[in-house]
Amino acid sequence: MSSAVTSTMASDMMPLLAALFLTPILASTPIAFAWAFRKDAPWARKLPILSVFGLFVSFLITLYILFNVEEGTKYVYPWLPAFGIDFVFIFDYLSKYMGALTGLIAFLIGVYGLEYMKDDYRLGWYWFCFNLFTASMLLVVYSDNLLMLLIGWEGLGIASWGLIGHWFRDDDELSYVGNMGRKVFGLNYFWSPSFGGWRAISTIRVGDMPMFFAVAAIYAFAGNLNISEIHWETLFETLGAAGTAILLIAFLMGPFTKSAQLPFSEWLMTAMTGPTTVSALLHSATMVAAGTYLFMRISWYIEPWAFSNAGMDAVYAFVLFLGLISSLYAALLAAGMWERKVLLASSTMSSLGLMFAAAAASKWLGEFAVEVSFWYLIVHAFAKATLFLVAGHLIHVTHDRFCGGDTEVAKKMKLTFLVTAFATISLAGIPPFTAYWVKSAMDEVMHGLIEHGMALPLTLLITISIIYSAFLAKFLSLNFLKGKKVHLHLHGGGLMGAAYTVMVSMLLVLLYLIMTGQEEVAGEFFHEGFVSTSLAVGAAVTVSYFFALIKPSIPQLSTVGRVLSDRLYMPFLNDLIVPKIGWVLVAIVDVCNRGVDFFFHQAIPAFFESASKSIRKIQKGYLASYMRVTLAAVMVLLVISSIVGW
């Protein structure tokens, strides 16, 4: 790929790019200021429209880039020319689609948010963070320079922190995760928004700092920070196998934590304490996918299939299995989950795992695997964002964050029901709907690994697909067909409905692109759908979907379900073991501080005080006592000198 990239200095793009990143931020400053100074003014609650308009402008620019900017174009704007580091924007296959996807989803969720958040107590914060997030995400998507990417990356982290902890008062049961007041082995098993925010940023920092180091190390060893220009093969050769492995793992710590792979998954679950719009945009469609996107992007230019390096090969194998195992873990969790949003969060984690695995398979199967992974990201983004938006709407009308709703809900909220049904069917991989074709290609990729002596990936993928389809059907069934009876507070909902309807219809557009072959890459997936493995998996997934639709919960398995919905007790790692270790260290340090403080500020002064006292004691003022001391000293001196002399 790197050879195909043409470096053009399109100077006319400057205003466009400035508008792309700055409009969302500038458009959200009025509401931020209004909220700080004139919160109660009647016009203040109308300002979010301006923020959404900013998102709309960004969306239009991403569309312009998608259709009018030639693939492989780069745009350079001087940033730190003294150090050979510049803002480098790249418009390649991945970034053009990803940018448009981000722009569209952010805009649609923005529209939804106008209604969903209209009575909120903290609109300034919400819209500023939301738009800052969108700008940061677009920066990550389009940047070729790793240091510039890190600005966007940190922006994602801070915006995500701000939005998860948006309801910082911790006073609304609807914003918690877990059953309020529940304890498991003495550990509180419920999480508040302010805690969710802290959990998110603390986990992400653990990944970002190694990644930051890796970027600095790339700068040190390659002398260049532009992903598409670094000679990766040469770089890896210089570093040797061990060095390459260290560098890649350090770099991938960022994507692993951001995309919530094991063992960094807990933050994504407690992130569900944020508003649903946030879960839809950040924690399913875009930000968490940024980790996988970045992995795809560097794989696109490293071209790991083109050469061999023991360190790199090991890391790709590691990512393959880490992704699959995380995916399986998360799929199991989702199967046992009762909370609407946490169920969707686990399913997101599962999908992210599959993206990592598929992209890592590119080491053995070439670029095609990255394309499969990327298209799965696109399909997943639209489907999962839709489901989250539906979940948000359901939480609004039922005042309940746990699954619930019988056929009455389906009757009264027909549109919502149909949208959910279509989104689940499309995402599950039931032929001939959208995800089926992409999943088929993924089956083929994993199938291809068998030739390289890895049979396990395909088995895991099929297992995951079956569970995945089952919990999607369970989500549909428990909320619209066979769940407990709920009381509906139906009013409004027009904007929300419109937003997720448009969102879900994007799956039809994708389906069209795949089936007609209008999109060259996606068109290839169409053929994979007719391979026997794919058809068999498709059939199994369909059976599992309809089984779960009819029997969404199995009372005989409630104990297993409990274990799964307790997230296989992973919270103990995050809430008990790691903090305990931390607190022990803190306690040791505290004791040392007291010790040093005592030594310097009490022991030393006390020593001087007592020394001075005892010296003063000698000075009695009697001539006789001075004489005695003098005589004694002379005697001692005589004795010493006679011994020494002798």
Partner 1 sequence: MIWVLLLPALATVAAPFLKKREAMVLSFLAFFIPFLVSFYWLFTGYTLEVAIQDVVGPIGRIYIYGDSLSHAFGFTIALISAMVAVYSLPYMEHRFHEMGLDVGKEFRKYWLFYNLYAASMLWLVYAGNFILLYVFLEISLIASFLLIYMYGYGNRQWVALLYFVWTNVAGVLALIGFILIGMQNGTMAMDAIKAVGMTAWLLVFVGMLIKLPGFGPHIWLPWAHAEAPTPVSALLSPLTVGLAGYVILRVYFIDSSFIESYRIPILAYGIFTSIYAGLSVFRQKDFKRLLAYSTVSQMGYMLIGFAAGTFGVLGVVIQYISHAFGKSILFMSAGAIIAVYHGLRDVEKMGGMHEYVPTISNAALLGFMTLSGILTVGMFGEFFILKGIADIYGLSLTAILPVIVVFIISGLYSFYTMKNIFYGKPKGYETPIVSRLLDTPLYVIGIISVLLILPPLATLFLAGVKIAFGGVLP
CB nearer to partner 1: give 144 or 443: 144
CB nearer to partner 1: give 33 or 547: 33
d(CA 635, CA 353): 88
In angstroms, what is the minimal distance from the CB of 125 to partner 1?
A: 8
d(CA 569, CA 560): 12
What type of residue is 94?
Answer: L
In angstroms, what is the minimal distance from the CB of 206 to partner 1?
A: 6
CB nearer to partner 1: give 236 or 338: 236
CB nearer to partner 1: give 245 or 446: 245
d(CA 646, CA 640): 10
Instruction: Give the helix/strand (H/E) hosting 78.
Output: strand 73-80
CB nearer to partner 1: give 100 or 282: 282
In angstroms, what is the minimal distance from the CB of 144 to partner 1?
A: 16
In angstroms, what is the minimal distance from the CB of 217 to partner 1?
A: 4
In angstroms, what is the minimal distance from the CB of 199 to partner 1?
A: 10
Distance set, CA 594 to CA 582, 598, 601 (Å): 18, 6, 10
CB nearer to partner 1: give 200 or 357: 200
Q: Please, are residues 423 and 387 in contact by the beta-carbon 8 Å criterion? A: yes
- Write out the residues near partner 1 by the rule CB under 8 A: 36, 77-83, 87, 147, 150-151, 154-155, 157-158, 161, 165, 168-171, 192, 194-195, 197-198, 201-202, 205-206, 208-210, 212-213, 215-217, 219-221, 239, 242-243, 246-247, 250, 582-583, 585-587, 589-590, 592-593, 596-597, 600-601
In angstroms, what is the minimal distance from the CB of 574 to partner 1?
A: 13
In angstroms, what is the minimal distance from the CB of 240 to partner 1?
A: 9
Interacting residues of 379 by C-beta distance below 8 A, sequence separation 6+: 426, 427, 434, 435, 438, 507, 510
| Residue 485 main-chain phi, psi, to 5 deg | -70, 135
Distance set, CA 608 to CA 209, 325, 613, 623 (Å): 47, 65, 8, 27
In angstroms, what is the minimal distance from the CB of 181 to partner 1?
A: 15
CB nearer to partner 1: give 580 or 628: 580
- The full 3-state SS of 388-432, as one line of letters, equals HHHHHHHHHHHCCCECCCEHHHHHHCHHHHHHHHHHHHHHHCCCC
Q: Please, are residues 160 and 133 in contact by the beta-carbon 8 Å criterion? A: yes
Distance set, CA 581 to CA 198, 203, 485, 573, 577 (Å): 18, 16, 45, 11, 6
d(CA 277, CA 114): 10
CB nearer to partner 1: give 218 or 379: 218
